[in-house]
Amino acid sequence: MTEETSKVPSATTVPEGNRLSNVQRFNGFQDTYDQHRPEAPQEVVTLLTQYLGHRPSLVVDIGSGTGLSSFVWRDTAARIIGVEPNDDMRSKAVDKLMSLAGAPTDDQVQAAEMSFVPGYSNQLELPDGAAEIVTCSQSFHWMEPVSTLKEIARVLREGGIFAAYDCDWPPSLDWQVELAYHELIELSEQLIDRHVDTAEQAYKGNKDEHLKHIRESGHFRFTKEIVFHHTEPFTAERYIGLAVSQGGIQTVFKLNLPEIHAKLDQFQALVTDYFQGRTLPLMFSYRMRIGIK
């Protein structure tokens, strides 16, 4: 095990600038998350490698979750480190890695060129200039941007790339289905506001401000937003599962609030009726904001 992966702080200690509620929002539904969420598109690897100009020696994926945004680098990067503070999410990534490596499970495991470790975005246990690419997939909005970008700039080599990328929820399908999806998500957030003290709620930033934060940090000489699309096969089960995998819905489930059930039943019926047992190719729209040090 290398020096930079052996000193990562325990995920139970929360450094200044982080919220424990943000980490705990993802407790207990790693299997649902991993089954229904999209993997990072190959376009991410292609674009970032193109901007770097060569095969990356080290990619650090912050907020790596169950590894959906980390495993995509296996055939390209010489080494990948996924950093994830949530024990449940990280354990799923480790299980997947172990199934590939055929090794016994360990909390801080390294198989060949890939590892998953506990840690936070503004306290990375990596040497200065260690990474050539740092990514945040569907995660930067959960982080404190100023301290996070300062830390990312520290661990990036000169000419290294930071990329924060997100897809729009849900994938494009039908306006009535998508409207029902948004109404379901909105109801979940309303229920959380009603039943959870503000101080105990998870806080997420505005994704539309990612590029602004990167530019205003002063750490990057070139910044840009790249827009692209990615298609994945969907059944009704997966489309419903994608909605259920959202943190707000899961929080309502944990609170045992029955008000969500009628709206969820309506959504499930609408989706099932639309798909009619079919598997359909659905388009995700992605926005990737990059900064080059």
Q: What is the pLDDT of residues 133-149, one digit of tens each?
A: 999 999 999 999 999 99
Q: What are the b/e assignments for 139-176, b being 16+ CB within 10 Å?
A: bbbbbbbebbbebbbbbbbeebbbbbbbbeebbebeee
| pLDDT tens track for 78-121 | 999 999 999 999 999 999 999 987 655 454 444 449 999 999 99
Q: What is the mean pLDDT of residues 191-199?
A: 94
- Please report the domains of the chain, with CATH numbers, ordered by start residue: 3-168+203-232+281-292 (3.40.50.150)
Q: What is the mean pLDDT of residues 144-159?
A: 98
Q: In this model, does residue 1 exceed pLDDT 50?
A: no
Does the model's pTM come out above 0.85? yes
User: What does the pLDDT read at residue 180?
Assistant: 98
Residue 224 binned pLDDT confidence (cut-offs 50, 70, 90)? very high
Who wins on pLDDT, 275 or 111? 275
Neighbours of 186 (CB within 10 A): 12
